[in-house]
Amino acid sequence: MPVSEGHPTPTNRLGLDGLEFIEFTTSQLLVLGALLEKMGFRPVARHRSREVLLYRQGRMNLVVNAHPGAVRVDATGQPVTALGAMALRVADAGDAHRRTIELGAWDLPTRAAAMELIIPGIRGAGDSHIYFVDRHGDFSIYDVDFTPIAGADPNPPALADLHYFGVVQTAYPERTAAWLEFYQSLFGFSVLPSGRFFGVVNTGVLLESPCRKFFLQLIEPPAADGDVVWEEGLLRIGLGTPDVPAAMRALQARGIVFVDRGSIRPTDRGAVTQLYPGGVSFELVHSHLSTSPA
């Protein structure tokens, strides 16, 4: 891939190679599942020992974790649906884990049962986790921990070439610099020049993964809005598509509603879905990222 002038080549010491899966945690398995199916994801496999489903669409893997111990609760103790984790493909998961711990990441307690894979991970923003996965391709982590759902197409095609584009993370006021350090030092992300954005939500700071396959967007609470309850965590996922209007049409036909008011209006650059139960939303982003297999 050509490197633009003045944009230093990022170091990729962990051998990052894209997002292996995104995990939602929820106690509302059916509600979230129905929404994901509207978004074009299909359930393809079930975890052997826990209440966990694997959804897939094109090259995107999405794990819905409804295991009681994994579900997050809000300040009042009520269960909430949340983006629970992002799993990064790396060259060597054990090595990536050791290296990030050595630099000051928090280890996660392992939770594999007998005959299951241990997926090493570290603590991310809020209650979220960052996992390291080095088994992808012919033999995947899903082959060990999941059983295929009978009759389901194991590789359902993507609507409008949808693919993972990035993840939006919230940060407390004036905490963006600390998070930049986190993603730069631990993983080798690089900050995009100020003012360079994708999609229609042009706030905060954008980081590009060292593999150049996905982005992170860090946003702080809007100024002068004291009523917003703002927690750090993963807010929403961005789905890339080469044709935003076509993707919108396909999703609208399936019942998905897009926000069209104020500063957030659908354009060729992107669109944001309404907030669905549990505070879940998705963002469409016009994407230059390739969807063809690497």
Partner 1 sequence: MRLTDFGMDTITLAGPLEAKLRAMQAAGFTQVMLSARDVVGHPEGEATAIARVRASGLRVTGFQVLRDFEGLSGHLHDYKVDIAKSMLQLGHALGAPLLLVCSSTSTHATGELEAVVADLRKLAMLAVPLGMRVAYEALSWGRHAHQLAQAWAVVERAKHANLGLCVDSFHALANEGAVDTLDMIDPAKVFLVQLSDFLWQQIRSREERIETARHLRVFPGEGVHNDLVAELVRRLERRGYAGDYSFEVFNDDYAQMPLASVCERAMRSVHWIAGRVARRSLPVLREVRAGPR
Among 59, 98, 172, 212, interactor with partner 1 by CB under 8 A: 172
The stretch among 11-19, 55-63, 82-90, 171-179 that binds partner 1 (CB under 8 A) is 171-179
Query: Binding to partner 1 by residue 230, rule CB under 8 A?
Result: no
- Closest contact distance (angstroms) between CB of 170 and partner 1 is 12
Query: Binding to partner 1 by residue 182, rule CB under 8 A?
Result: yes
Query: Binding to partner 1 by residue 73, rule CB under 8 A?
Result: no
Q: Specify the residue, 74 or 268, whose C-beta has the smaller distance to partner 1.
A: 74
SS3 category, 179: helix
In one letter, which amino acid is 136? H
Residues touching partner 1, count (CB under 8 A): 20
What one-character-per-residue DSSP string does 106-174 give?
A: PB------TT-----EEE-STT-EEEEE---SSS-HHHHHEEEPTT--SSPPPGGG-EEEEEEEE--TT
- Burial per residue of 203-234, b for 16 or more beta-carbon CB atoms within 10 angstroms, e otherwise: ebbbbbbbbbbbbbbbbbeeeeeeeeeeebbb
Q: Specify the residue, 92 or 181, whose C-beta has the smaller distance to partner 1.
A: 181
Query: Binding to partner 1 by residue 179, rule CB under 8 A?
Result: yes
Query: Binding to partner 1 by residue 175, rule CB under 8 A?
Result: yes
CA dihedral 284, 167, 62, 28 (to 10 degrees): -90
**Contact (Cβ atoms closer than 8 angstroms) between residue 162 and residue 240:** yes
Q: Specify the residue, 105 or 248, whose C-beta has the smaller distance to partner 1.
A: 105
Query: Binding to partner 1 by residue 232, rule CB under 8 A?
Result: yes
Angstrom distance (rounded) from CA 129 to CA 210: 19
Query: Binding to partner 1 by residue 102, rule CB under 8 A?
Result: yes
Strand 19-25, strand 282-286: pairing: unpaired
- Closest contact distance (angstroms) between CB of 217 and partner 1 is 17
**Residue 139 CA: distances (Å) to CA of 13, 22, 25, 170, 291:** 23, 19, 25, 34, 20
DSSP 209: -
Among 87, 119, 158, 180, interactor with partner 1 by CB under 8 A: 180
Query: Binding to partner 1 by residue 207, rule CB under 8 A?
Result: no
Query: Binding to partner 1 by residue 294, rule CB under 8 A?
Result: no
Q: Specify the residue, 17 or 232, whose C-beta has the smaller distance to partner 1.
A: 232
- Give the footprint of partner 1 on residues 119-138 (CB under 8 A): 123-126
Query: Binding to partner 1 by residue 167, rule CB under 8 A?
Result: no
HSE at residue 103, side-chain half, CA atoms within 13 A, is 17
- Closest contact distance (angstroms) between CB of 75 and partner 1 is 12
- Closest contact distance (angstroms) between CB of 257 and partner 1 is 34
**Contact (Cβ atoms closer than 8 angstroms) between residue 129 and residue 121:** yes
SS3 category, 185: helix
Question: Which positions from 34 to 53 touch partner 1 by CB under 8 A, shown as an x/- string?
Answer: --------------------
The stretch among 27-35, 53-61, 87-95, 101-109 that binds partner 1 (CB under 8 A) is 101-109
Query: Binding to partner 1 by residue 265, rule CB under 8 A?
Result: no
What is the number of other CB atoms lying within 10 angstroms of the CB of residue 84? Answer: 23
**Residue 77 CA: distances (Å) to CA of 15, 42, 294:** 39, 31, 43
Where do contacts with partner 1 occur on this chain (CB under 8 A)? 102-106, 123-126, 172, 175, 177-182, 185-186, 232
